[in-house]
Chain A
Amino acid sequence: MKKGLLPGLAVLLLWQILFMSGFFSPLVFPSPLAVAESLYGDLKTGELVLSILFSLAIILGSFLPSLILAFFLAWLAFRYRSFDPWIEKLSALVHPLPGIALLPLLILWTGLGTHIIVLIVIHSVLWPFYINIRSGFRQVPGVWLDVADNNRLSEGERFLSLLVPASFPQIFAGLKIGWSRAWRAVISAEMIFGTIGSGGGLGWFIYNKRIFMDTPGMYGGVIILMLIGLAVENLLFRSVERRIAYVYSQS
């Protein structure tokens, strides 16, 4: 962390110098101080915190059903091989669709509401989850499966104590991809769809700043996005990854 401090300061300094050169209008390129001030102001009113919590809540609320569904699909394809090509085709068809392209259809089918954003995020994380879990299951050595059969493990035992632990690195990779996909999807969906009074997530926060031409606020929103991405990467994924590397080096 300390290593990153000095270059960070250098960037801030360069930013301030660029700003003071007067080359850009402050409406295009605000000073770092103005951005910090606007961030502080939005923190104090609670607007920013609420936006962040809103977005994170949507992501969490979409992760759980997506994970369950992805596990189910992968298990189905693994246990009953005849399903596999069908689920594969479905995933190949639907996976490349951007969630935003589904937005009008989703509104037509399910009406308006926050659930639209949840559905879009589910769509964007379900398929990377599924693809990774499936490839994890497929890489479980046949011998282990035979051992499981010989020990007469039940379907549930086999799933929980063999398939899932054995494919954990792939599942974890899926989670990582899913997280960045979810983050992108939630921000772009929120930018298109927001309630004026009660607000929405961080995407709506940035969109609103744009509508009201609050350029420092827009920069602030983007910086917060970067920081959250960085924090999750460093605090959550990095430490889990280290643990996985340790556990798997022992086996």
Chain B
Amino acid sequence: MKARFVILVLLSLFLLPGCTGKGSSEGKIRIAEQYGLAYAPLQILREKGFLEEAAEGIEVEWVRLGNTAAIREAVLAGDLDIGFMGIPPFLIARDKGMEWKIATGLSRCPLGLAVPSGAYRSLSDIPADARIALPQPGSIQHILLSMALDRETGNPSHLDNNLIAMKHPDGMNALLSGAVTGHFTSPPYLFLEEEEGYDVLVSGEEAMGEPFTFIAGVATERFHSNEPDLYKVFLSALEKAILFIEENREETVNILSGIYDMDKKTVEDYLYNRGMVFEQDVRGLENFISFMEKTGYLKQIGERESVLF
């Protein structure tokens, strides 16, 4: 009886992957985003209908997912064409053989490790029993912190035993309540923590040693080859959205303050005065690849051309 039951369970487990959506239908584009200021051009693109304007009859489906792993799984299930995420999680998936490449950059953004004001002078001051929150292992925040540690202590995993995986809002609450002594995060959480009087011990750019793309747009190879026109339309619509943010401050702030439920002054300040840059160039890719190869996150990634359309 038991054996038969186990077999049933195993069988259902194996047959589940069969229930996947079949490839993209013609004239349809399915885009995944995550939540945050760094995705602002996508909100504009969506609200202003730039895609629908550029290609008549196009069907656009937007999906908001909580993390990169969910985006990857949706892509594998055949439910997405384009997803937006940090470069390291994309590279990890590419390394494992996922057939997708970077199509465009989206944003550069100040990242950093926020700590209580005056608590530490450098990373090596952080005591062995300290706790630091960041989104998840292999995230851009984790890789940047490893880079900074590598530079300062020579050991990229120096603080790994102190790292606790938490979502951004949980990490901020933990920092404010004193449950953790550091939070490696991105805007708006980093800005909010700075306003609460926390210091940025290491910034993303210091860790990386150069400006880098925070969020990039990744397209499946299937979409790229099956829908070359749509692919181009998407890129030019995104360019238009980025230009729109530059040229129409007031309307941008109006749209985004509604979406993020933040007051207009704050949105304007965060968007234009704090070092957020929206651009399609992809920066820092080589640096990410070589560091992640060195530290064993990537095994067979190959050259820059193999990860970029």
Given contacts A28-B76, A104-B170, A108-B177, contact A196 B3 (CB under 8 A): no
Q: How far is the CB of B109 from chain A (nearest CB, A)?
A: 21
Tell which of A3-11, A38-46, A240-248 binds the partner. A3-11
Q: How far is the CB of A146 from chain B (nearest CB, A)?
A: 43
Cα A193 to Cα B76 in complex, Å, equals 26
Q: Is there an interface contact between A112 and B174, defined as CB atoms closer than 8 Å?
A: yes
Residues of A within 8 A of B57 (CB): none
Q: A24: nearest residue on chain B (CB-CB)?
A: B17
Q: Is B157 an interface residue (CB 8 A)?
A: yes
Q: Is there an interface contact between A226 and B6, defined as CB atoms closer than 8 Å?
A: yes
**Residues in B97-150 with C-beta less than 8 Å from chain A:** 97-98, 131, 136-138, 142
Residues of B within 8 A of A7 (CB): 3-4, 6-7
Tell which of A54-62, A118-126, A134-142, A211-219 binds the partner. A211-219
Of listed A14, A29, A107, A213, residue having the most chain B CB within 10 A? A213
Q: Is there an interface contact between B161 and A195, defined as CB atoms closer than 8 Å?
A: yes
Tell which of B8-16, B41-49, B245-253 binds the partner. B8-16
Q: Is B285 an interface residue (CB 8 A)?
A: no
Given contacts A11-B7, A210-B69, contact A27 B164 (CB under 8 A): no
Q: Is A228 an interface residue (CB 8 A)?
A: no
User: Which residue of the partner chain, among A4, A211, A212, A213, contacts B6 with CB atoms under 8 Å?
Assistant: A4
Q: Is there an interface contact between A212 and B138, defined as CB atoms closer than 8 Å?
A: yes
Q: B158: nearest residue on chain A (CB-CB)?
A: A197
Q: How far is the CB of B250 from chain A (nearest CB, A)?
A: 37
Q: Is there an interface contact between A29 and B17, defined as CB atoms closer than 8 Å?
A: yes
Cα A29 to Cα B14 in complex, Å, equals 8
Q: Is B160 an interface residue (CB 8 A)?
A: yes
Residues of A within 8 A of B64 (CB): none
Residues of B within 8 A of A108 (CB): 173, 177
Q: Is there an interface contact between B96 and A211, defined as CB atoms closer than 8 Å?
A: no
Cα A111 to Cα B133 in complex, Å, equals 13
Q: Is there an interface contact between B93 and A107, defined as CB atoms closer than 8 Å?
A: no
**Residues in A14-31 with C-beta less than 8 Å from chain B:** 14-15, 18, 23-29
User: Which residue of the partner chain, among B2, B98, B163, B170, contacts A197 with CB atoms under 8 Å?
Assistant: B163
Q: Is A222 an interface residue (CB 8 A)?
A: yes
User: Which residue of the partner chain, among B77, B157, B164, B297, contacts A195 with CB atoms under 8 Å?
Assistant: B164
Q: Is A198 an interface residue (CB 8 A)?
A: yes
Residues of A within 8 A of B7 (CB): 7-8, 10-11
Residues of A within 8 A of B69 (CB): 210-211, 213
Residues of A within 8 A of B255 (CB): none
Q: Is B72 an interface residue (CB 8 A)?
A: yes
Cα A4 to Cα B93 in complex, Å, equals 37
Residues of B within 8 A of A27 (CB): 76, 96-98
Q: How far is the CB of A105 from chain B (nearest CB, A)?
A: 12
Q: How far is the CB of B66 from chain A (nearest CB, A)?
A: 12
Cα A25 to Cα B20 in complex, Å, equals 12
Residues of B within 8 A of A167 (CB): none
**Residues in B16-73 with C-beta less than 8 Å from chain A:** 17-18, 20, 69, 72
Cα A228 to Cα B60 in complex, Å, equals 45
**Residues in A207-251 with C-beta less than 8 Å from chain B:** 208, 210-215, 222, 226, 230, 234
Cα A215 to Cα B138 in complex, Å, equals 16
Q: Is B180 an interface residue (CB 8 A)?
A: yes
Q: Is there an interface contact between B136 and A211, defined as CB atoms closer than 8 Å?
A: yes
Residues of A within 8 A of B136 (CB): 211
Q: Is there an interface contact between B161 and A197, defined as CB atoms closer than 8 Å?
A: yes
Residues of B within 8 A of A178 (CB): none
Q: A195: nearest residue on chain B (CB-CB)?
A: B164
**Residues in B154-189 with C-beta less than 8 Å from chain A:** 157, 159-166, 170, 173-174, 177, 179-180
Q: Is there an interface contact between A211 and B138, defined as CB atoms closer than 8 Å?
A: yes
Q: B163: nearest residue on chain A (CB-CB)?
A: A196
Cα A14 to Cα B165 in complex, Å, equals 38
Q: A5: nearest residue on chain B (CB-CB)?
A: B3
Q: B133: nearest residue on chain A (CB-CB)?
A: A112
Residues of A within 8 A of B301 (CB): none
Residues of B within 8 A of A211 (CB): 69, 89, 92, 136-138
Residues of A within 8 A of B97 (CB): 26-27
Residues of B within 8 A of A107 (CB): 170, 173-174, 179
Q: Is there an interface contact between A213 and B163, defined as CB atoms closer than 8 Å?
A: no
Q: How far is the CB of A138 from chain B (nearest CB, A)?
A: 32
Residues of A within 8 A of B157 (CB): 197
User: Which residue of the partner chain, among B3, B10, B142, B165, contacts A194 with CB atoms under 8 Å?
Assistant: B165
Q: Which residues of A contact B (CB under 8 A)?
A: 3-4, 7-8, 10-11, 14-15, 18, 23-29, 104, 107-108, 111-112, 193-198, 208, 210-215, 222, 226, 230, 234
A to B CB contacts below 8 Å, 6 in the list: A111-B177, A112-B174, A193-B164, A193-B166, A195-B165, A196-B163
Ranked 3 nearest A-B pairs via Cβ: A197-B160, A4-B3, A197-B161
Given A107-B173, A196-B160, 17 further pairs, Cβ under 8 A: A7-B3, A8-B7, A14-B14, A18-B14, A24-B18, A26-B97, A27-B96, A27-B97, A108-B173, A112-B174, A194-B164, A195-B164, A196-B142, A196-B161, A212-B137, A213-B72, A214-B96
